[in-house]
Amino acid sequence: MLRITDLELFARSSVLGSFTAAAHEAGLLPGQVAAAIKRLERDLDVRLFARTTRSLRLTAEGELYLPTALNVLESLRQGRDNLHGACSNLRGVLQVSAPSDLGRNILLPWLSGFRRQHPDLSLRFLLSDQVADLFRDPVDVAVRYGQNEDANYIALPLAPWNRRVLVASPDYLARHGRPQTLDDLKHHACLLYLQLGRVYDKWRLGNRIVKVSGPLFSDDADAVRRWALLGEGIAYKSWLDVSSDVSAGELEVLLPEHPGESTPVTLVCPHRKQLTPAVSQLHMWLRAKFETLHGQAEANVTDTER
């Protein structure tokens, strides 16, 4: 019989990448978390994590099982909230921070739809490529790219499947040719932007890190996407940022045999006590929206490989 606490510890360990961090968050000993994972693996008859003395990562079976575990936990949470009246009208102010391009191009209409369903809720939407400090900035929750490595935060998965992709416009490729190898990128105009306060010019593709350069740089990551659409060069962007452009034929995915680095999207808040009904319902709303894009991502990869 599966235990709900084991599922919770499995989900948190997968997000935090550490049994110790998951134990700290839950007020347990690391050995208790490890025992819970072993018990879950025994119940499922699969190995969920590949463990070494220095790292912890999900196995292929763990990646496959994680969405199921999250759906079960979310259903239980929703049922509990229903019993306590969490589905009544949401009120007050919800302050949400997000990266500029993801916020403008994807989250903006989704958040508008969420607020229409809760007309008594006021929404403040803050866009910046700088990482918000949830303990000092006027923010309740933040949508973030990348792995959450800070055990002080609660990170709720939104799009764990998201990756970066290389893209360029048909016009750019017609004028400059299509790169055939990773080394070819060194001879192309690569579009650069800031990441965590530094120029992001070392792109991880497959098992390699390629140092790139180009004549255009911006501190706004959405400007890079727009430059790519204008045919100014090659961009290395989150699939979520460029998926609609690829579907419309305005950008093309390059070198799909060299997958870009994993760039999961999470909803982050400072403490479990701040998982208010508004935050919980926003999480469910956004997760459902991101899942609609998941199938499109898989279809695009399949079409590109053909």
Residues 170 and 249 in one domain: yes
Residues 245 and 298 in one domain: no
Query: What pLDDT does 224 receive?
Result: 94
Q: Which residue among 82, 99, 122 closes a domain?
A: 82
Residues 206 and 142 in one domain: no
CATH number at residue 173: 3.40.190.10
Q: Which residue among 61, 82, 103 closes a domain?
A: 82
- Domain extent at residue 280: 90-158+264-305
Q: Is residue 259 part of a domain?
A: no
In which residue ranges of the chain is pLDDT below 50?
Answer: 87, 301-302, 304-306
Residues 142 and 277 in one domain: yes
Note the pLDDT tens digit of each residue in 90-124: 888 899 999 888 998 899 999 999 999 999 999 99
Residues 135 and 281 in one domain: yes
Domain count, the chain: 3
Residues 153 and 268 in one domain: yes
CATH number at residue 8: 1.10.10.10
Query: What pLDDT does 265 receive?
Result: 93
Q: Is residue 237 part of a domain?
A: yes
Distances (CA, A) of 188 to 156, 172, 215, 235, 253: 38, 10, 10, 11, 15
Query: What pLDDT does 302 receive?
Result: 45
Query: What pLDDT does 41 receive?
Result: 93
Residues 32 and 76 in one domain: yes
Q: Is residue 236 part of a domain?
A: yes
Query: What pLDDT does 272 receive?
Result: 66
Query: What pLDDT does 298 receive?
Result: 54
Residues 169 and 201 in one domain: yes
Residues 120 and 153 in one domain: yes
pTM score over 0.75: no
